[in-house]
Structure 1
């Protein structure tokens, strides 16, 4: 991993959250690496551009590349949790020369099944019609967190979901629904990768992590025991240890 020691780490958040999901890991990571955690378009404090195009992670990937341009960064170690991982793989397809390493946390490389795609469309339409407060968190929490998650973590996630702009949630759900299979992109990757998964992840389980590890030419797998899909919130110390133990720091 020589030559990567100066690369910043850019982390992309999960759906339907924003960059505040990284708060529990922010300080210890920032002590060791330059850390960048943007809100994705339409979520958190990031505006939703009017493009007239169908929602696509390709547009969100262009946002990431534009951010790198603004920050004058040629390459970063690019990571993401869940949707953030899907977006990281979209950036890898769009601009592989900007990616110096991958951190794929509780995510998968395969496209949605027809059932999952329909469920995302249902979420998008309900968000547009009813907003998100009062139902989106309740619908997602059982799968996002392990049953042993602390009440504080549950309420933190609930609050983050309730605060998301409905239009951004709808856009992201439709973009996720349309994403392609990314396994070929991972097979073509020439950079080291870290794959992290919660042992009790019900959305992107260990099997999905193993599939990515099998596709990547240089991958390290870390399984965090006793936690679910949102490992940076459920086991921040485990995620920090995994990243810094793998990260190419001299």
Structure 2
């Protein structure tokens, strides 16, 4: 792993680069880390064609884990990604984000459109996310994290899931600092989102995908595709929010042709 500091607040951001070719930033979801992209097979599938930039977002993996709720403001999170790109001297990259990573990808395209050559948003949303973690995990999940820890969180989440928690996801969750993770979730709960007017100004090739059983993000994905000029939405049959990213073959059948198209602009 390599490390860079966010110039605004000094938070340390961990990242790894693999492969060669057009730069492609991969942004993970909540409570996970950059390791999911290797564990789920994305690195193996993409490394021969792309220079993969795998980032642990603040509060996750090996990056800094501040306990202050305001340390997870989206402006700071997007600045983390820009700090990595600046450190690598990458002017323009394609960006693929899932869930929280999808929101970061959208925010990056809004804040620094000249740095994003192609945009893939999986299970993402531009809307305010108040209450989203209660819906995605279970009611009261943030308090469980802060007061009882990761294992209690996993036990209660596993009890309400239709699918078992896979070992990779379980390991990624256990690597987190529960207080930092709770602070991140509480900040996400009050973020305002990205306006429809702003999305209409996007001029980057965009693909949005979502699992057919991801009831919380189906409408959000359709809205993204309707608002971003030229964007395309794809529904991946048979998966919910937590399992779609692990359906690597199904996701890549949609994503790889889009990346081939978009990299001519990156």
After TM superposition, the score normalised by the length of structure 1 is 0.83
Deviation for aligned residue 1:139: 2.3
Report the number of matched residues.
236
Deviation for aligned residue 1:194: 0.8
Deviates more, 1:119-128 or 1:236-245: 119-128
Which consecutive unaligned segments of at least 5 residues does structure 1 have? 1-5
Partner of 2:156: 138
Q: Secondary structure of the residue that 1:47 maps to in structure 2?
A: coil
| Residue 62 (str. 1) matches residue 79 (str. 2) | yes
CA contact (8 A) 2:120 2:208 kept: yes
The correspondence for 1:199, drawn from 204, 212, 223, is 212
Partner of 1:170: 182
Partner of 2:64: 47
List aligned pairs for 1:191-230, cutoff 5 A. 191-204=204-217, 206-229=218-241, 230=243
| C-alpha spacing 1:137/1:185, structure 2 compared with 1 (3 Å) | farther
List aligned pairs for 1:49-198, cutoff 5 A. 49=66, 53=70, 55-113=72-130, 115-116=131-132, 122-136=140-154, 138-139=156-157, 142=160, 147=162, 149=163, 154-182=166-194, 183-198=196-211
| C-alpha spacing 1:188/1:210, structure 2 compared with 1 (3 Å) | same
Partner of 2:16: none
- Give the alignment's Cα RMSD to 1 decimal: 2.6
Deviations 1:89-132 (A, max 9, x none): 2222322221111100011111124x448889954443232222
The correspondence for 1:9, drawn from 1, 24, 29, is 24
Answer 1 or 2: which has greater strand percent: 2
| Residue 238 (str. 1) matches residue 250 (str. 2) | yes
Q: Secondary structure of the residue that 1:16 maps to in structure 2?
A: coil
Partner of 1:20: 35
Which consecutive unaligned segments of at least 5 residues does structure 2 have? 1-20
Deviation for aligned residue 1:70: 0.4
* Higher RCO, 1 vs 2 (CA within 8 Å, ≥6 residues apart): 1
CA contact (8 A) 2:133 2:142 kept: no
Deviation for aligned residue 1:199: 1.0
Deviation for aligned residue 1:175: 2.6
Quote the Cα distance in structure 2 between the aligned partners of 1:222 and 1:95: 25
Quote the Cα distance in structure 2 between the aligned partners of 1:199 and 1:214: 18
Deviates more, 1:186-195 or 1:174-183: 174-183
